[in-house]
Copies of this chain bind each other. A is one copy, B any other.
């Protein structure tokens, strides 16, 4: 069982392979679908009155408990972006916070004993407010973005002192640590007392930093990428979904979790929004993990 706090939104995506308007997305959405392959998920977020009820129903069918999703007066969070030809770089076209502008996450009382928690990308202030509502989580992992590094660095540093793991992308890691290389940035973050740090490198995979060593895994090579949106969140969902069911979080389990997150992210990009993950079966994941292992067997 894993609890996630993050955004739900309606994303409009332009890619060289096509365009999709207002598909269901947001960090918590991609994360929840990915984590649900491993077991039940508790979802804390907010949507507006215009959010399609069917999308919440769909979540319930995947074992994602939406008791923590409040419906607020106003419109759902919206975001639009355009990907460049390489499908790795993108530009944000618009961001409408809408109901997120005023939202304060409230963990339902019966969920305050959650032991595995993911704080998806939100302001560090909100992420800290979630921690204040939890009893004694065994494993808390957080994500962030460049905006918070620039505007709420102090709160972010406090957050880093209160979580076990941290997941962020290369540019964010360099910005936060002011180290020029990814390896040094990861080391520097680890030295803040974190149990592990994962630096995501988009289509180039991810690097895990622990006191026991550094491990890099490549991305699973996807022949045709339709929409990279949410790849990082679904990666985190696979990672946390797996770890939630394990007794300990050591290097071996973290590497396995990294591999599973990588495989789930590779499905995520095969269709727009959460469409591919919404129909992903445990068997398909198992098959891709085997292919990934085969690829890495040298």
Contact in complex: B207, A205 (CB < 8 Å) = no
Which residues on the B side are within 8 Å of A183 (C-beta)?
Answer: 221-223
Q: Which residue of B204, B223, B292, B298 is within 8 Å of A298 (Cβ)? A: B292
A210–chain B nearest beta-carbon distance, Å: 12
Chain A 15-26 interface mask (CB, 8 Å, partner B; 1/0): 010000000000
Binds B, one of A2-10, A39-47, A72-80, A253-261: A253-261
Q: CA A255 – CA B296 in complex, angstroms?
A: 9
Contact in complex: B207, A204 (CB < 8 Å) = no
Number of this chain's copies in the complex: 2
A177 within 8 A of B: no
A175–chain B nearest beta-carbon distance, Å: 13
A243–chain B nearest beta-carbon distance, Å: 14
Contact in complex: A214, B221 (CB < 8 Å) = yes
Contact in complex: A218, B221 (CB < 8 Å) = no
A159 within 8 A of B: no
Q: CA A47 – CA B209 in complex, angstroms?
A: 44
Which residues on the B side are within 8 Å of A259 (C-beta)?
Answer: 298
Q: CA A86 – CA B182 in complex, angstroms?
A: 8
Which residues on the B side are within 8 Å of A296 (C-beta)?
Answer: 217, 296-298
Which residues between 91 and 116 of chain A lie within 8 Å of chain B, taking CB atoms?
Answer: none
A151 within 8 A of B: no
A283 within 8 A of B: no
Q: CA A86 – CA B205 in complex, angstroms?
A: 18
Interface residues of A, count at CB 8 A: 37
Chain A 265-298 interface mask (CB, 8 Å, partner B; 1/0): 0000000000000000000000000001101111
A181 within 8 A of B: yes
Contact in complex: B256, A298 (CB < 8 Å) = yes
Quick one: which of A223, A225, A297 has the most chain B CB within 10 A?
A297
Q: Which residue of B86, B180, B215 is within 8 Å of A295 (Cβ)? A: B215
Contact in complex: A205, B221 (CB < 8 Å) = no
A195 within 8 A of B: no
Which residues on the B side are within 8 Å of A90 (C-beta)?
Answer: none
Which residues on the B side are within 8 Å of A221 (C-beta)?
Answer: 183, 207, 214-216
Q: Which residue of B85, B174, B216, B255 is within 8 Å of A218 (Cβ)? A: B216
The interface of chain A, by Cβ under 8 A from chain B, is: 16, 84-87, 174, 180-183, 187, 201, 203-205, 207, 213-219, 221-223, 225, 255-256, 258-259, 292-293, 295-298
- Interchain Cβ contacts under 8 Å between A and B, 26 examples: A16-B180, A84-B180, A85-B180, A86-B174, A86-B180, A86-B181, A181-B225, A183-B221, A187-B223, A204-B205, A205-B205, A205-B218, A207-B221, A215-B221, A215-B295, A216-B218, A216-B219, A216-B295, A217-B298, A218-B218, A255-B295, A255-B298, A258-B298, A296-B296, A296-B297, A296-B298
